[in-house]
Structure 1
Amino acid sequence: ELLGWEYDGPFDELPAIVAADAPAAHHVIAWDEVGEEEGTGIVHIAPGCGAEDFRLGQEFDLPAPAPLNEEGIFVEGFGWLTGRDVHEVAHEIFHDLEEKGRLYRFDPYTHRYPMCWRCGTPLVFRLVDEWFISMGPLYDKPREEVTPEEKAASLRYQIMDVVDQIQWIPEFGYEREMDWLRNMHDWMISKKRYWGLALPIWVCEACEHFEVIGDGEELHTRAVAGWETFEGHTPHRPHVDAVKIACPQCGGQMTRIKDVGNPWLDAGSVAYSTVRYRTDREYWEQWVPAEWISESFPGQFRNWFYSLITMSTVFEQIPPAKIVHGYATLWAEDGRPMHKSWGNAIWFDDAAEQMGVDTMRWMYLNQKLDQNMLFGYNKADETRRRFVIPLWNVYAFFVNYARIDGWAPEMSNGDGAMGDDPITHHPSPHLLDRWILARLKETIAAMTEGYESYIPLSVAQPAEAFLDDLSNWYIRRSRRRFWAARGENALADADKDAAYRTLYTVLVTFAKLLAPSLPFISEAMYQNLVVEVGRTSESASYLESIHHCRFPTAAPLTEEERVLVETMAAVRQAATLGHSVRASGNLKVRQPLARALIAADPRRREALARLLDLLADELNVKEVAFVEEEGELVNYQLLPVNRVLGPKFGKRFPLVRKALTRLVAAVAVARLHAGEKLRLTLEDGSEITLAPDEVLIQTEAREGYAVAGEGGLVVALDTTLTPELEQEGLAREVIRRVQDLRKQADYDLTDRIAVQYQAEGKLAEAIAAFRDAIAAEVLADALEAADAPAGDQVLEDTVDGHAVILAVRRS
C-alpha cells in the first residue's frame, strides 16, 4: 500500500539537495534487499553513500548527492554540516531533526558496520568518479549458446574461454574463477592516491573528451607543453602531470587525470611488462604462458589471478600461465589470523631460528591446499617428531654403524638405476633389501608425480609412507644384520655388506628426492655420505652438491599410468607432442612448417579449437587443422596382447592374430578408442570378442608426416618444405644470430642498429626475401650486404651449411 507514496525529506532545505532535485525523487519504491528479519522493513536510500543504494538509484534514475570529501568532511552545499567531520556530527544531526519536528524517537541500535581491519576505525562510504574497464554484458542464457558476436561484445566471456585453457589446482579454482566472472561488475582500475602507477589517460579541459596514451613516444609526439619537465623521469607523479596534449576533438588542452592505477592493474600486466613482449616477441614466447603461478586463493580469484588472465585475454587471448596453483591462508595455532596486536604473530626470523626452515617447508608440504594452515611452534614440533627426527635417526643409524665397521661404499662413475648413485649397486638376495628397493622405486614414481603435478601433499605423503617403511620396518627388521660381528661367517659378512649397500643407496637416493623440499637437511646428508667419502678415494667421481645431481629415476610407468598423467592438460599435451615431433623428426624449432594436423576426441577437439592460433605459434606452423580420424595420419597394425590372449586362447592364439589382420584397421581402432569390443570370426568358424585392453594398436606415420600421439590425441607435422618455408627458416636463423650479437654487444633493448652481412646462395636469397622482417625483429635501420662486414660485434657462422658473416653496430 505504501508503494508510490511521496514524502518530504529530512534535509530538503540544504542547497546541495535542492541543486540535485532530490525532493522530486522522494517516493516509496520496492527493493529486494529489504527484509523482515532485521530493522523495520523500511530503509532510506542514499545513492551517494553506498554501493547497493547507488545501483538501486541507477535503476530508478535517482539523484545521488555525494556529501563527503576524501577526508570524510562534508563538502559545500550542506549547510551547517559543511566542513564538519562525519564521525563527529551524529548527535547534532539527531538534535537538528528534533528541533525541526522530524524525529519520532531516538534509540541506540547495534548493527553490522564495516570497520578498518588494521586500526578498528569505522568506515564510511562515499561516491566518487572512477575509471573502469568494461566487462561487457552477462547474457541470460547458457554460456555455450552465446554467439561469437555476443562474445566479441563481452570481455567476460572472452576471459572465460581463456580460463578454460588453464589447469587449476585445486580443481575447484576453475569454478571459483568462473563464478567471479559470472557475478563481477566492471573492473575499477583507478585509485585516489598520489603514489602509484600514473594512469595514461588525458582529459580535455574544454569538451571532456579523453584519450589513452600508448607509450612514451606517443606522449612525446603529442605533447604541446610540459615535456621538458617530464623528460628524464619515470612516468609517475608529479613530473608526468606537467605534460599537456592537444584535444583532437576541439583543439583544447588535455590534462592527465590525477588518479593512479589500481595495483592489480600493474600486477596483472607482468606477463607483458617483464619479458620483452614489445621488443622481442620470440623471446617473450619462451616465457608466456608461464608454466606455473601460485598465490593464496581466498582473494586472488578476483585480484591477481583475475587481473593476470584479463590482461592476457586483452593482449593475446591466451592464458598467462598453464597452471594456476592456489592455497588457503596461514593462520595462527589458535585458529585465528595472525595479528601483532593479538600477540599470535610469528616473525620469520624467529621461526627459522626455533623451528628450522626445513621443518617449516615440510609443514607447508603436508598442508591440504583447500584448508587454512595452523602455524605455530607446537605444529612444528609435531612435524619434527613425525618426519624430520625419524629421517635423521635413520641417517644417524647408518653413519654410526658404518663408522664402527669401517664400511665405505665403492665410489664409481656409474649412473645406476636410481640416478647419480655414487656406488655400483650389487643386487641383494635378501628379501628386505629387495623390498625396500622396490618401495624406493615406487616412492620415486609417486614423488616425481607429486612434484610434476604441483600438489605438495602428493610429495609429502609418499615420502612419509616410505620413511615409515624404512625406519619402522626395514631398519627394525634388519638391525641384527648391522649388529652382526665381522669375520665370523662369510655369508653373514656378505649379508651385512648387502645391507650397508642397500641402506646407503636408499639414503642417498631418498635425499635426492627430498632435496627440492628439504634443501638443507638433504645437503647435509649428501655432504657426509658422498662428498666426504669421495674425498678419501683418489678414483672417486662425485658432484660437490646434492643440488647438482640429476633427479632420481624409477622403473617406467605402465602405459595406463603414463596416459593418465599425460591426459591432464589437453592443450599443453598437444604442444608437447608437437615439440616432440620436431625433436624426433630432426625438424628445427625455428623452421616454419606448412601445417599441423590433429586428431582428437570431440571434447578435446573442442578445447583445442579455441587455441589454434596459439598452437600454430607454439609449433611454428602456418596452419593448424583437424582431421576426423587418427587413421588419416598414421597406418595401423592391430596385434593381440600376447600376455593376455596367449593363455586365454592357447593353441587358437595364432588364429586370433590372423583374424585381427583381416579387420579394417581404422574402423576397428575407432571402436577400440570408443571402448567397444571387437567381434572376430576365426578360421575354425568360432566367434570371439576382444576388449580394448586385449588389443595392441601400433601406428606408423604416413609418408610426408612426422607423428606423435598419446592418450587419444595425435599431432602430425607436415614435413614438406617449400622454397618459401625454407627461406623463412633461414631468415629466422639469421634473426637469432643477430639477436645474440645484440646481447654480446650489450645493447639496450631499444637501441637501433645497423647490420652488415656476407652470404651467398640460398641464404643470401632468404635474407633478401625477408629483409624487412629481419630488420623489424632486430630493430635494424639498415641491413646491407658487404664484402667485409664490420661493427661492434662480428660473427662468422654457418646456417644450414651456408656460410655467413654478420656484424652489428649502433645506428
Structure 2
Amino acid sequence: GGEADAETELDVADARDKKATGKAGTGLVHTAPGHGHDDFVIGKAYGLEIYCPVDNAGRFTPEVEHFAGEGVFEANPHIVAFMRERGVLLFSEDYAHRYPHCWRCKNPVIFRATPQWFISLDAVSSETVEVERDDDGRDRSNFTENEEDAPESLRAMALREIERVEWVPAWGRERMRNMQKGRPDWCVSRQRVWGVPIPVFYCSCGEAVASRETIDHVASIFERESGDAWYAREAKDLLPAGFSCAKCGGREFTKETDILDVWFDSGASSIAVLESEKYAGLRWPADVYLEGGDQFRGWFNSSLMVGLAAHGRAPYKTVVTHGWTLDAQGRAMHKSAGNAVAPDEFVKDSGADLLRLWVVSSDYKEDMRCSEEILQRVSDAYRKIRNTARFALGNLDGFDTARDSVALSEMQEIDRWALAELDLLIARATEAYRSFEYHAVYQALYGFCTVTLSARYFDIIKDRLYTAAPRSHARRSAQTALNYIADALARMLAPVLVFTADEIWENLPEVKSGRGAGVGSVEGEGVGDVVDESGAVPASVHVAEFPVALSVERDTALLKHWARLFEVRDVVLRALEEARTSKLIGSSLEAHVLLEAKRKTYELLEQYREELRYVFIVSQVSLTLLEEDAGEDVRVRVERAAGEKCERCWNYSVRVGEFTRYPTVCERCVEALAEIEAEGEAL
C-alpha cells in the first residue's frame, strides 16, 4: 500500500533537492507517503494514500500480515528471510549509510505521518465582524482605499510587523522575513503525557468540537484550577452543562490527548505577564526581547504569531540577538570535553560583577570566547576601574558638597577639562546603552578610567590634592570634580557592575551624609540630582537616575587646547623616560625640562607656562621659541633640576632653605603650611 502505480509518471522535482547530481537515467522510485516528508509531498500531489502501518511504539499495526506487533527495525531480518523463503528476493547485502538518529538518546528515528493540529499561516479569519457602511448602505470594506484594513493572514501580518520592529543586529530583520516567507503552517500539537492541553473534544460520532463556547468554559475552569483540571476531570465535567454535539446531538465525548507545542506556551508569555493584573506597571507590547540566534524559529517566532492572533501586532518593539559562548579556541563548550567554564564556580571565587564585565566587554552580536585566561584579563580591567573609583572617593574624605563645592566657572581649568571629558563620556555611554552597544559602553568607561583619569588627570592633580591646604580653593576645585566624576561613574556602571556601583554610591559624601545638595546644585547643573522626588537621598544607585551632561564647555576650545597639551606631554614623558634610562634622573621631579616649540604651539604653551611643571610632573620647565624651519614642532631636552628637594612635596626649588620657620620646604609649601595653621587657629 502507498506505492506508486507502475503506469503513473511521478514528477518529483518539487519534492527532491534541486541540486544537480550529475547522474541521468530512468528507474523505479519507492514512495512511502506515510514515512517521510518528500514522499508525503509527492503522495499529496498525486492523491496517494497516506499509509502508515506503524503505531506509537514503533511496531507494525495488526493490519500488517506476518509481522504485526514487531518493531520496525527488529522485523527487517525477518522480512528478508520471508522474501527469501518465497523466492521473491533478488539480492540482499548489508552496507553502511547515513540515517537520522535522536540527538538525545542516539537511537534511530522512525518517520511517521500522524494526524496533527495546525495553525494556518495563509488563511484569513472567517469570524463574523460588524460591517461598516456608508450613508448609502454600501460596505466600506469594498472600497479600494480601504484595502489595507481588510483581514490579513498571519503570514501577511507577520511580514508587515517584521518591518516595524527594530532588530539588533540589523540582519535579524532579513532572517526573520525570509523564514516567514517560506515556512509551512505551524504544527501546534505534540504527543506527550502532560502539558498544556489542546481544548478539543470528540463526539462519539467522530465530530471534533472546539467552539468559542467550549473553549471559554474550559478557560474559566483552568483559571480556577489550572491546566491540571484537564487530567483530573472527565470530559463531561469540562463541557458546559447540557452541551450536545451540533452534528448528531450526542452527549458522549472524549478529550484530546495531544498537548500544545511548548513554544505556544512561551509565545503567550508576553500576554500572560504584561497584561496580568499582578504587574500593574507593565504594558503590552514589550520594549525588548533578548535571546540567542536559535530563537528566530523558537520564542521570537511563536511570540510573534500569538501577538498577531491576539492583538494584530508584534509583541515586541525591539529584538536583541546574541551569539554563543565558546572556549578560547572557538569551540563549543561541553563538560565532557573539559573546556566548560562554570559560571557559578567563577562567581563563587571572583564575584558576579567580573562575569558581567566580561559579558559587556565582548561583542555579544558575535560568538563570544571565554576561558580562565580571558576572565583574568577582564579581572585586571575590573581592578583598574575599581581603583579609579577608590582614588576619587579616597580624596573626598571630609568633603561636604553643600559647604565645599566650587562653582564650575571658578574651578581650575584642568578640573573643568576633566568634567568636559566626563560630558563626552556620558553622551557616548548613554547612546551606547540606548542602542544596545554594551561593548561600546565598556570601551568608553574603561578608556575614561585608565587614560583620561588615571594616566592624565589623576596623575596631574595628585600633587595638588596631597600638598595644598585641605580647605584651599585649589584642593576644593579638584575635590568638586572628583565628586562629580565618582557620582557619574556609579550611575553609568550600575547596569553592569551592580554591586561595585552600589559600593561607590554608598561612599559618596552626599549619600554618606544623607544630604543631596552639591552634585546637582552647582550653578543649577549637575550629573543628576542625588535626591529623589521626596527630597531623600536614594539608598541605592539602582533607584537613582542616569547621569546627564554638565555642559561644562559649550564650545570645543577647552578640549582642543588640552588635547594639544597632552600631545606635547607625551613627547616630554618619552624624553623623561630616556633620561631615567640613562641614569640622568631617578624621579621625574628631579628634572628640569627645556622645551622649545614653534610659534603656534609656543603661543598655546605660553598660556599655561605656570602650569606646565604640574602637567609634566617635573620641578622646573623652561619654554623658548623654536625656529619655523625645524624638523619637529616640539623639541625637548632634560637636565637635572636646580636647587634642593622639598621634604614635603618632593619638588626641587632654589628657594628651599630661605624660610626660617620651615627651612626644609619650598616656597609653595610654606604658603600651604601657613594656610593650614590659619585654619587651625580659626577652629
Could you tell me the TM-score, scaled by structure 1's length?
0.55
The residue number in structure 2 matching 1:411 is 401
Alignment match of 2:388 (pick from 379, 385, 394): 394
8 Å Cα contact 2:465-2:478 kept in structure 1: no
Aligned pair in 2 of structure 1 residues 180, 447: CA closer, same or farther (>3 Å)? same
Structure 2: how far apart are the matches of 1:94 and 1:64? Answer: 24
The residue number in structure 1 matching 2:433 is 451
Aligned pair in 2 of structure 1 residues 94, 444: CA closer, same or farther (>3 Å)? farther
SS at 2:210's partner residue?
strand
Greater Rg over alpha carbons, structure: 2
2:89 equivalent to 1:102: yes
Structure 2: how far apart are the matches of 1:518 and 1:231? Answer: 42
8 Å Cα contact 1:481-1:495 kept in structure 2: no
Alignment match of 1:362 (pick from 357, 378, 390): 357
Structure 2: how far apart are the matches of 1:360 and 1:444? Answer: 23
The residue number in structure 2 matching 1:13 is none
Structure 2: how far apart are the matches of 1:515 and 1:79? Answer: 72
Structure 2: how far apart are the matches of 1:327 and 1:320? Answer: 19
Deviation at 1:50, TM superposition (A): 1.6
- Counting only pairs closer than 5 Å after superposition, residues 383-782 of structure 1 correspond to structure 2 as 383-385=378-380, 387-399=381-393, 402=395, 407-412=397-402, 426=408, 429-475=411-457, 477-478=459-460, 480-481=462-463, 484-486=466-468, 494-530=473-509, 533-534=512-513, 542-555=537-550
The residue number in structure 2 matching 1:614 is none
Structure 2: how far apart are the matches of 1:159 and 1:201? Answer: 27
The residue number in structure 1 matching 2:127 is none
Alignment match of 1:303 (pick from 273, 298, 304): 298
Deviation per CA, 1:579-606: give whole Å up to 9, x if none: xxxxxxxxxxxxxxxxxxxxxxxxxxxx
The residue number in structure 1 matching 2:180 is 181
Aligned pair in 2 of structure 1 residues 189, 536: CA closer, same or farther (>3 Å)? closer
Structure 1: how far apart are the matches of 2:215 and 2:21? Answer: 57
Paired residues, number: 507
The residue number in structure 2 matching 1:135 is 121
Aligned pair in 2 of structure 1 residues 293, 399: CA closer, same or farther (>3 Å)? same
Alignment match of 1:239 (pick from 229, 232, 236): 232
The residue number in structure 2 matching 1:199 is 198
8 Å Cα contact 1:94-1:103 kept in structure 2: no
8 Å Cα contact 1:513-1:552 kept in structure 2: yes
SS at 1:323's partner residue?
strand
Deviation at 1:361, TM superposition (A): 1.3
Deviation at 1:352, TM superposition (A): 1.3
Deviation at 1:188, TM superposition (A): 0.7
Deviation at 1:313, TM superposition (A): 1.4
Structure 2: how far apart are the matches of 1:195 and 1:166? Answer: 35
Unaligned runs of 5+ in 2: 125-143, 519-530, 555-683
- Tell me which amino acid in the other structure corresponds to 2:429: M
Aligned pair in 2 of structure 1 residues 101, 313: CA closer, same or farther (>3 Å)? same
SS at 2:508's partner residue?
helix
Deviation at 1:543, TM superposition (A): 3.6
User: Cα RMSD over matched residues?
Assistant: 4.1
Deviation per CA, 1:251-273: give whole Å up to 9, x if none: 12343211111111122123333
The residue number in structure 2 matching 1:54 is 40
Structure 2: how far apart are the matches of 1:537 and 1:463? Answer: 25
8 Å Cα contact 1:203-1:254 kept in structure 2: yes
The residue number in structure 2 matching 1:70 is 56
SS at 1:464's partner residue?
helix
Aligned pair in 2 of structure 1 residues 36, 251: CA closer, same or farther (>3 Å)? same
8 Å Cα contact 1:203-1:211 kept in structure 2: no
Deviation per CA, 1:740-780: give whole Å up to 9, x if none: xxxxxxxxxxxxxxxxxxxxxxxxxxxxxxxxxxxxxxxxx
Deviation at 1:515, TM superposition (A): 0.7
Deviation at 1:135, TM superposition (A): 0.6
The residue number in structure 2 matching 1:117 is 103
SS at 1:118's partner residue?
coil
Aligned pair in 2 of structure 1 residues 339, 237: CA closer, same or farther (>3 Å)? farther
SS at 1:116's partner residue?
coil
The residue number in structure 1 matching 2:283 is 287
SS at 1:325's partner residue?
strand
The residue number in structure 2 matching 1:741 is none
Structure 2: how far apart are the matches of 1:322 and 1:510? Answer: 29
The residue number in structure 1 matching 2:649 is none
8 Å Cα contact 1:295-1:326 kept in structure 2: yes
SS at 1:324's partner residue?
strand
8 Å Cα contact 1:332-1:345 kept in structure 2: yes
Deviation at 1:344, TM superposition (A): 3.5
8 Å Cα contact 2:515-2:537 kept in structure 1: no
Structure 2: how far apart are the matches of 1:235 and 1:26? Answer: 54
SS at 1:203's partner residue?
strand
- Tell me which amino acid in the other structure corresponds to 2:388: V
- Tell me which amino acid in the other structure corresponds to 2:486: L
8 Å Cα contact 1:428-1:434 kept in structure 2: no
Deviation at 1:180, TM superposition (A): 1.2
8 Å Cα contact 2:461-2:478 kept in structure 1: no
Structure 2: how far apart are the matches of 1:424 and 1:70? Answer: 80
Alignment match of 2:112 (pick from 103, 106, 126): 126
Deviation per CA, 1:708-760: give whole Å up to 9, x if none: xxxxxxxxxxxxxxxxxxxxxxxxxxxxxxxxxxxxxxxxxxxxxxxxxxxxx
Deviation at 1:369, TM superposition (A): 3.7
2:335 equivalent to 1:340: yes
SS at 2:115's partner residue?
coil
- Tell me which amino acid in the other structure corresponds to 1:456: Y
Deviation at 1:483, TM superposition (A): 6.8
- Tell me which amino acid in the other structure corresponds to 2:377: E
Deviation at 1:148, TM superposition (A): 4.2
Aligned pair in 2 of structure 1 residues 242, 384: CA closer, same or farther (>3 Å)? same
Deviation per CA, 1:147-189: give whole Å up to 9, x if none: 9499736320022222232222222212111111101000111
8 Å Cα contact 2:274-2:282 kept in structure 1: no
SS at 1:126's partner residue?
coil
2:210 equivalent to 1:211: yes
8 Å Cα contact 2:200-2:208 kept in structure 1: no
Structure 2: how far apart are the matches of 1:262 and 1:363? Answer: 35
Structure 1: how far apart are the matches of 2:31 and 2:308? Answer: 38
Alignment match of 1:349 (pick from 333, 344, 350): 344
Alignment match of 1:248 (pick from 233, 246, 249): 246
The residue number in structure 2 matching 1:264 is 263
Aligned pair in 2 of structure 1 residues 165, 495: CA closer, same or farther (>3 Å)? same
Deviation at 1:24, TM superposition (A): 3.7
The residue number in structure 2 matching 1:156 is 155
Could you tell me the TM-score, scaled by structure 2's length?
0.65
The residue number in structure 2 matching 1:648 is none
The residue number in structure 2 matching 1:793 is none
Structure 2: how far apart are the matches of 1:288 and 1:241? Answer: 36
The residue number in structure 2 matching 1:371 is 366
Structure 2: how far apart are the matches of 1:460 and 1:214? Answer: 55
Structure 2: how far apart are the matches of 1:558 and 1:130? Answer: 68
Structure 2: how far apart are the matches of 1:162 and 1:517? Answer: 32
Q: Identity rate of aligned residues, in percent?
A: 24
SS at 1:392's partner residue?
helix
Structure 2: how far apart are the matches of 1:477 and 1:238? Answer: 72
Structure 2: how far apart are the matches of 1:557 and 1:325? Answer: 35
Deviation at 1:146, TM superposition (A): 14
Structure 2: how far apart are the matches of 1:536 and 1:371? Answer: 45
Deviation at 1:520, TM superposition (A): 0.4
- Structure with the largest fraction of strand: 1
Deviation at 1:427, TM superposition (A): 5.1
Structure 2: how far apart are the matches of 1:553 and 1:393? Answer: 24
Aligned pair in 2 of structure 1 residues 368, 558: CA closer, same or farther (>3 Å)? farther
